[in-house]
Amino acid sequence: MELQRRLERIFRDDRAWLVLLALATAVSLTGNLFGLLSHVTIVAPHLLYFPIIIASYRFPRRGVLFASCIGLVYVVMVCLVPPPAAGDIISAAARFVVLVAIGWVVAYLSLNLKEQEERYRGLFDHSEAGSFLVRLDGPVPIIEDANFRGAEILGTRAAEMAGEPFRTFWDDPGNMEEFISGIRKNGARYSHEARLVRKDGAHVEGILSAGAVSDSGFIVTLVDITDRKRTEEAFRQANRELNLLSGVTRNDLLGVTGRLSDMLRSGKERCQNPEARDLAGRLWEPVRYIRRRLELTKYYQDLGAEEPVWHPVREVILNEASRSDLGTVSLRVWTERLEVYADRLLKNVFSNLLDNAVRHGKGATDIVVTYRLAGDGLDLIVEDNGPGIPDTDKEAIFEYGSEKHPGLGLFIDREILGVTGISITETGVPGSGARFEIHIPSGAFRIV
CATH of the domain at 189: 3.30.450.20
How many domains would you assign to the chain? Answer: 4
What are φ and ψ of residue 38, in 5° steps?
A: -95, 0
* Domain-terminating residue out of 72, 90, 124: 124
Residue-level pLDDT at 125: 80
Instruction: Tell whether 357 and 441 lie within a shared domain.
Output: yes
Residue-level pLDDT at 401: 58
Instruction: Tell whether 99 and 188 lie within a shared domain.
Output: no
Cα–Cα dist 283/260, whole Å: 10
Instruction: Tell whether 313 and 443 lie within a shared domain.
Output: yes
Residue-level pLDDT at 406: 46
- Global confidence as pTM: 0.52
* Domain-terminating residue out of 124, 159, 174: 124
Comparing CA positions, the residue from 200, 166, 198 lying closest to residue 183 is 166
User: Which residues lie across from 135 on neighbouring strands?
Assistant: 142, 217
Residue-level pLDDT at 241: 75
Domain span at residue 207?
Answer: 127-224
Over residues 396-424, the pLDDT tens digits come to 888 875 545 545 678 888 988 998 999 99
Instruction: Tell whether 316 and 443 lie within a shared domain.
Output: yes
Instruction: Tell whether 117 and 175 lie within a shared domain.
Output: no
Instruction: Output the domain CATH number for residue 323.
Output: 3.30.565.10
Instruction: Tell whether 14 and 112 lie within a shared domain.
Output: yes
Instruction: Tell whether 119 and 194 lie within a shared domain.
Output: no
Q: Could you say which residues of the chain have pLDDT below 50?
A: 1, 403, 406
According to DSSP, residue 170 is labeled: B
For residue 277, count other CB atoms closer than 10 A to its CB: 15
Instruction: Tell whether 292 and 367 lie within a shared domain.
Output: no
Cα–Cα dist 399/401, whole Å: 6
Residue-level pLDDT at 84: 67
Instruction: Tell whether 325 and 397 lie within a shared domain.
Output: yes
* Domain-terminating residue out of 208, 224, 240: 224
Instruction: Tell whether 99 and 198 lie within a shared domain.
Output: no
Instruction: Tell whether 94 and 57 lie within a shared domain.
Output: yes
Instruction: Tell whether 373 and 360 lie within a shared domain.
Output: yes
